[in-house]
Amino acid sequence: MAYRLALRPETFLCVPQPSGRRNARSYRARMACDRVDAPKRPFTPPREVHVQVTHSMPPQKIEIFKSLENWAENNILVHLKSVEKCWQPQDFLPQPSSEGFYEEVKELRERSKEIPDDYFVCLIGDMITEEALPTYQTMLNTLDGVRDETGASLSSWAIWTRAWTAEENRHGDLLNKYLYLSGRVDMKQIEKTIQYLIGSGMDPRTENNPFLGFIYTSFQERATFISHGNTARLAKEHGDLKLAQICGTIASDEKRHETAYTKIVDKLFEIDPNGMVLAFADMMKKKISMPAHLMYDGRDDNLFEHFSAVTQRLGIYTAKDYADILEFLVTRWKVGELTDLSGKGNRAQDFLCTLAPRIRRLEERAQGKAKKAPTIPFSWIYDRQVQL
Ligand SMILES: [Fe+2]
Ligand SMILES: [Fe+2]
């Protein structure tokens, strides 16, 4: 259906898969859509993941990250905020120890009554995405050369990852408590979805490779900055200024994190432009999967697609945003200006510099053909019907 196509701006890159040999990297590039079924177990939903490729960065390149320890301390850790200066969820929520607690909760619930169900579906999906934070810390710790080797490693990379996680942890906490207090949502269904999602993990296809991993995190932090920014804008339009402030505050954290990750990629482009342009093209050919793409609530096998359809329709996160982020990063990393690339590097450069307009054209065509999307029940809001 057209609305589904619009969610997957990268679909046109898929090619049929041959069978047989599965390891060579050049071969892997042609297998962008090669997927395998993960076994169904009571603690994970039915799902597909890609053929798993591991440790694709040549071991000698690990040295790059060791040599950047001091650079990361001076250039990346500075983007963390001291805990004492950070906002905390409690700053935006009714104070349970105060006399006025019940009154404040009542006001919160009055404000949230004005907000439509489709907006709540988006906010819940965003909250669930944030709540699967253990998966994202795990993902960062899969990356060779930058992982936290001990759990309390003193390397700059490990310090960043732990403190980043600690900052991010406030996002899910705050949205979760807000949604709980609103009284509008089925918390048990939401909690089940979070449990399923953490159990499922994610399939970002970053191959333990920090070149790929930091492109992924740069893209994702910008994507979350955009989507929380849009939920803030819409909350304001629906008259809930407190919720707008909550979403806007989270968006500004995401922006700061985006700055840090894009700076790491800047540096890697400086050190190894050919390796980075290949890595960037590789990630875009494989498509940037959303962190919560394996979402499941115990009922809807296509929950993530349905949630994404609503975010697309409301303009919270769209195929156009995907193309805009790509274009932003191509400009930010000056991909078009790179010189002295290998033949493959030149092809990757061309691919990246022409991809955003191609995605946009596809999106416009899909929008032109789009039929009225169906309405389906979402368990998160007691099976109330929402249009996709
Ligand atoms: Fe976040
Ligand atoms: Fe983030």
Position 36 scores a pLDDT of: 75
CA-based nearest residue to 308, from 327, 321, 325: 321
One-letter amino acid for residue 128 of the chain: I
The pLDDT of residue 19: 34
Which amino acid makes up residue 181? L
Q: Report the separation in Å between the CA atom of 12 and the middle of ligand 1, taken as the mean of its atom positions.
A: 29
Catalytic residue among 135, 193, 224, 311: 224
- Residue 35's pLDDT is 76
Alpha helices in 116-186 (DSSP H): 117-131, 133-140, 156-182
Q: Is 71 a catalytic residue?
A: no
Q: What's residue 22's pLDDT?
A: 34
pLDDT at residue 21 tops 70: no
List phi, psi (to 5°) of 309: -60, -40
Is residue 161 predicted with pLDDT exceeding 70? yes
Mean pLDDT for the stretch of residues 366-386: 91
- Is residue 230 within 8 Å of 76, Cβ to Cβ? no
Whole-model pTM over 0.85: yes
Q: Are 132 and 194 in contact (CB under 8 A)?
A: yes
Is the pLDDT assigned to residue 103 strictly greater than 80?
Answer: yes
User: Mean pLDDT score of the chain, rounded to an integer?
Assistant: 90
**CA distance linking residue 303 with residue 295, whole number of Å:** 6
pLDDT band at 15 (very low <50, low <70, confident <90, very high): very low
DSSP 8-state class, residue 44: B
Query: Is the pLDDT reported for residue 182 higher than 70?
Result: yes
Q: Is the pLDDT of residue 20 over 50?
A: no
Q: For 240-268, how does the pLDDT look when each residue is reduced to its tens digit (9 = 90+)?
A: 999 999 999 999 999 999 999 999 999 99
Q: Is 354 a catalytic residue?
A: no
Mean of the pLDDT values across residues 92-98?
97
The pLDDT of residue 42 is above 90: no
H or E element that contains 104? helix 101-113
Strands 47-50 and 375-378: unpaired
User: Residue 33: what pLDDT?
Assistant: 52
The yes-or-no answer on residue 87 being catalytic is yes
Segment 147-160 mean pLDDT: 97
Give the position of tokens 């990250």. 65
Mark whether 55 is an active-site residue. no
Which is nearest to 251 in space by CA: 183, 316, 319? 316
Supply the pLDDT for residue 8.
38
Q: What is the pLDDT of residues 300-341, one digit of tens each?
A: 999 999 999 999 999 999 999 999 999 999 999 999 999 999
104 is catalytic: no
pLDDT band at 142 (very low <50, low <70, confident <90, very high): very high
> What DSSP letter does each residue of 192-260 carry, written as one string?
HHHHHHHHH------TT-HHHHHHHHHHHHHHHHHHHHHHHHHHHHTT-HHHHHHHHHHHHHHHHHHHH
> In the numeric block, which tokens belong to residue 237?
């339009």
| Residue 370 backbone dihedrals phi, psi, to 5 degrees | -60, 130
pLDDT band of residue 10 (cuts 50, 70, 90) is very low
Ligand 1 centroid – CA 97 distance (Å): 27
pLDDT value of position 199: 94
CA distances for 191 relative to 179, 241, 309, 385, angstroms:
12, 26, 22, 20
Cα–Cα distance for residue pair 254/266, rounded to 1 Å? 18
Point out the ligand nearest to the CA of residue 174: 1
254 catalytic per annotation: yes
Question: Residue 346 C-alpha to ligand 2 middle, in angstroms?
Answer: 31
What integer is the mean pLDDT of 81-95? 98
Region 347-369 average pLDDT: 92
Using DSSP, state whether 270 is helix, strand or coil.
helix
Rounded distance between C-alpha atoms, residue 201 and residue 190, angstroms? 17
Least confident of 4-8, 66-70, 180-184, 283-287: 4-8
Best CA proximity match to 295, nearest among 374, 194, 367: 194
Q: Catalytic: 171?
A: yes
What does the pLDDT read at residue 46?
Answer: 64
Flag whether pLDDT at 296 surpasses 50.
yes
**Cα 126 from Cα 292, distance rounded (Å):** 9
Q: What is the pLDDT of residue 12?
A: 28
Q: Tell me how far the alpha carbon of residue 29 lies from the centroid of ligand 2, in angstroms.
A: 28
Please indicate whether residue 257 is annotated as part of the active site.
Answer: yes
Give the DSSP H or E segment for 47.
Answer: strand 47-50
Q: How large is the angle between the packed helices 273-286 and 210-237, nearest 10 degrees?
A: 50
Distance of CA 168 from the midpoint of ligand 1 (Å): 5
Active site residue 142: no
- The catalytic residue among 167, 240, 257, 318 is 257
Measured over all CA atoms, what is the biggest interatomic distance in the chain, rounded to whole angstroms?
70
- Per DSSP, what are the bridge partners of residue 378? 384
Which strand (E) or helix (H) includes residue 384?
strand 384-387
- Measure the CA–CA gap between 119 and 328, rounded to whole angstroms: 27
Q: What share of the chain has pLDDT > 70, as a percent?
A: 90
> What are the angstrom distances between the C-alpha of 334 and each of 276, 279, 330?
12, 15, 6
